[in-house]
Structure 1
Amino acid sequence: MNKLFYPAIFHTAEEGGFWVTFPDFPECLTEGDDLQKAYEMAVEALGIVLVGRKEDGEVIPDPTPINELNVEDGAIVIVGFDMLEYQRKHNSKAVKKTLSIPEWLNEEAIEKGVNFSQVLQEALMNKLNIRK
């Protein structure tokens, strides 16, 4: 669940600009003075809702297929949010982990000047198939 994509409905505002709704998240509304700003605000609003739901342990629904949406006023735009990128920016605080390795391996690594934290981070990223 790294990159998530949801349909958004971009409505033209009477006073100019756009307002945006998300069929899968009724609580998610935003607006922008022009299409670019409306899209940027839609990404931010979607991110706030997704992160909030994840932190609260709530279900993150699958996106509604576009062909199931009935849009009379507005246009469907797919909005993406990169959860992993958000986590990297906002959750980079170091977390202490206690682990056990064989003594002989510990001694070899210390002798070679291995940075244990760096090795663990690289191994976890490799295991989780995460690119820097």
Structure 2
Amino acid sequence: MNYIYPAIFYPEANGKYSVIFPDLNDLATYGDSLADAFAMAQEACAQYLFTSLRDGDALPAPTAINAVKSDDPTALINLICVNLDNYARAYDDRAVKKTLTIPAWLNTACDNCGINYSKVLKDALIAKLQQVQM
């Protein structure tokens, strides 16, 4: 799912940029260039939102971009979009236990061959998802 929050980019004297998210408890990051600052802003926003949702916290409503103000006339206000589905796939690799039922003869045959059920199921589910998403 995509989430969009406004961010304020402040140019620094050394060519770097500081970034503040006013809606996310003044979440801050920076980048060595404007492009780097945008990438860092996406990463910081995704991590903040992912952690909040994982912990059961409610996400704040994003402020409309035209309502975000800065006292610095050189600041750039822009929207940052993050896809939390992609972020979760990349960073939430914890194992989840699932129970399944198979015929006894299949269990015996797999045990005799040393087949790793978890790996086979994981590989099959990934292949199925790739088919569905095409």
TM-score by length of 2: 0.69
SS at match of 1:21: strand
Q: Which residue of 2 aligns with 1:10?
A: 9
Tell me, in whole angstroms, the C-alpha distance in 2 between the residues paired with 1:70 and 1:13: 18
1:1-132 matches, cutoff 5 A: 2-73=1-72, 74-98=75-99, 118=124, 122=128, 131=133
Amino acid in the other structure paired with 2:2: K
Question: Between Structure 1 and Structure 2, how many residues are aligned?
Answer: 114
Give 5+ residue unaligned stretches, structure 2. 107-119
Deviations 1:50-100 (A, max 9, x none): 122112211111211112212332111111111101111222445232368
Tell me, in whole angstroms, the C-alpha distance in 1 between the residues paired with 2:28 and 2:41: 8
Amino acid in the other structure paired with 2:89: R
Identical residues among aligned pairs (%) = 33
TM-score by length of 1: 0.70
SS at match of 1:37: helix
Give 5+ residue unaligned stretches, structure 1. 101-105
Amino acid in the other structure paired with 1:32: G
Deviation (angstroms), 1:10:
0.6
Tell me, in whole angstroms, the C-alpha distance in 2 between the residues paired with 1:55 and 1:27: 20
